[in-house]
């Protein structure tokens, strides 16, 4: 029997609640007649580790993950440590260290979940946002000079490379081609950002010629937010820069009902390294430790993890179980207007997997 090695990194805040829930659901899925098993390894990296060791993860942490088949991640972010330290010291270190350059964010309105959009049915909102995950605004290029003085200068340079843009465009066009509508919207801001984003547009046009069966258009990122709200059915697959897609996907999650249900995969399409799956939300300081976290985003991330491993049948079974739970309003957590706890939702998904 095939055994998959999965690294679990709960991280901080509600990551410590939703990742064990995801692990539990995966274990039940394996025990309920799957043709494979899991070997989980948990890593206690994050804010507590930082307080004890002065860094978010060990210096050789990537080596511990290298042989894994996939990583299930929670969140990096601690109320008492600056966000740029927690983010760069853990999540971005893994994404960049393993060149997980394609961040894939599906959004749909799951059964039983209400969208804040009027006149928008479940069929009108079915998107996948592809986020460039290795460079752009989050390349880490920049600095501060004369800190604290009136003449202080600070920069965060959005750095894009031709190779980096080409590979994300090729990935996005390929993903769009695999979906029924074969449609891609390239999100841009080349009216204002006249260097990198103009190259981005040129490369989109160039790569599009390799995909004549994909229809595509371009949209400025600000206009795109309005289009998501006003004409959701006009969108299918989107590709955007690291920062733009970060923002668009939180909006997408809210339009699909809650930040708590949205999943993501940080993918190395060339499969040189393990890919990492996580809910798109963060540590949610306001609800952590209370059992209120919605675990659905993590479960959906587990579905993506299974798909990445090639376990399509198991992935579909887990998604059916999740959808059957969201369809029942008694099993909605507080972010969805309900009163169910993380544990109750998790147990309900497990029950459906066993039956």
* Closest CA relative to residue 347, chosen from 330, 35, 338: 330
Residue 77 interaction partner, one of Mn ion, K ion, ligand NAD, none, beta carbon < 5-8 Å per kind: ligand NAD
Residue 321 has a CB neighbour count (10 Å cut-off) of 23
Residue 172: partners with Cβ closer than 8 Å, 6 or more residues away: 130, 184, 186, 237, 238, 239
Tell which residue, 189, 198, 204, has the closest CA to residue 244: 189
Question: Using CB under 6 A as the criterion, what x/- string covers residues 225-264 for binding ligand NAD?
Answer: ----------------------------------xx----
CB 83, min distance to ligand NAD, A: 4
Q: Label the pairing between strands 153-159 and 237-240.
A: unpaired
Q: Which stretch binds ligand NAD (CB under 6 A): 34-42, 156-164, 285-293, 344-352?
A: 285-293
- Those residues whose C-beta lies under 8 Å from the C-beta of residue 352, and which sit 6 or more positions away, are 320, 321, 324, 325
Both tokens of 200, joined, read 């981005």
283 binds ligand NAD (CB under 6 A): yes
Residues 6+ apart with CB under 8 A from 238: 127, 128, 129, 130, 172, 184, 185, 186, 187, 224, 245, 248
Among 286, 289, 290, 339, binds ligand NAD (CB under 6 A): 286
Q: Which is nearer to Mn ion, 13 or 174 (CB)?
A: 13
The phi, psi pair for 32, rounded to 5°, reads: -90, 45
**Which of the ranges 189-197, 205-213, 277-285, 306-314 carries the binding residues for ligand NAD, by CB under 6 A?**
277-285
Residues 74-103 that bind ligand NAD (CB under 6 A): 75-77, 83, 86-87, 91
Residue 152 partner contact from Mn ion, K ion, ligand NAD, none using kind-dependent CB cut-offs of 5 to 8 Å: none
Q: Which span sits near ligand NAD by CB under 6 A: 73-81, 94-102, 210-218, 267-275? A: 73-81
**Does the protein bind ligand NAD through residue 335 (CB under 6 A)?**
yes
Residue 210 CB contacts under 8 Å (≥ 6 apart), including other chains: 170, 173
Is 246 a residue that touches Mn ion (CB under 5 A)?
A: yes
Residue 283 sits in the site that holds K ion (CB under 5 A): no
List of residues contacting ligand NAD (CB under 6 A): 14, 75-77, 83, 86-87, 91, 259-260, 278, 281-287, 293-294, 297, 333, 335
């Amino acid at each position: 029997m095939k055994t998959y090695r999965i690294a679990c990194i709960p991280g901080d805040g509600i990551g410590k609640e939703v990742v064990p829930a995801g692990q539990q659901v995966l274990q039940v899925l394996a025990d309920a007649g799957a043709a494979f098993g899991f070997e989980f390894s948990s890593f206690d990296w994050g804010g507590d580790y930082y307080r004890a060791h002065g860094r978010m993860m060990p210096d050789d942490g990537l080596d511990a993950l290298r042989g894994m088949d996939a990583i299930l991640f929670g969140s990096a972010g601690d109320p008492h440590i600056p966000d740029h330290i927690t983010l760069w010291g853990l999540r971005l270190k893994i994404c960049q260290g393993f060149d997980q350059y394609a961040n894939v964010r599906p959004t749909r309105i799951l059964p039983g979940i209400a969208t804040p959009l009027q006149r928008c049915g479940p069929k009108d909102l079915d998107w996948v946002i592809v986020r460039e995950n290795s460079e752009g605004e989050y390349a880490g290029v920049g600095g501060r000079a004369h800190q604290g003085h009136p003449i202080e200068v600070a920069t965060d340079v959005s750095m894009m490379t031709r190779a980096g843009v080409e590979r994300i465009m090729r990935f996005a066009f390929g993903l769009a081609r695999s979906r029924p509508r074969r449609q891609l919207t390239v999100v841009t801001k080349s009216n204002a950002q006249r260097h990198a984003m103009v190259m981005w547009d040129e490369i989109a046009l160039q790569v599009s010629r390799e995909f004549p069966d994909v229809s595509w258009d371009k949209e400025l990122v600000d206009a795109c937010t309005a289009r998501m709200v006003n004409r959701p059915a006009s969108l299918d697959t989107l590709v955007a820069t690291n920062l733009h897609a970060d923002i668009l996907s939180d909006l997408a999650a809210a339009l699909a009902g809650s930040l708590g249900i949205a999943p993501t995969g940080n993918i190395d399409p060339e499969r040189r390294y393990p890919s990492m799956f996580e809910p798109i939300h963060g540590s949610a300081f306001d609800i952590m430790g209370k059992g209120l976290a919605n675990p659905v985003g993590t479960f959906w991330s587990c579905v993506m993890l299974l798909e990445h491993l090639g376990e399509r049948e198991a992935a579909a079974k887990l998604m059916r179980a999740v959808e059957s739970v969201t369809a029942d309003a008694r099993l909605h957590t507080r972010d969805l207007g309900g009163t169910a706890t993380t544990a109750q939702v998790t147990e309900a998904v497990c029950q459906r997997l066993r039956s």
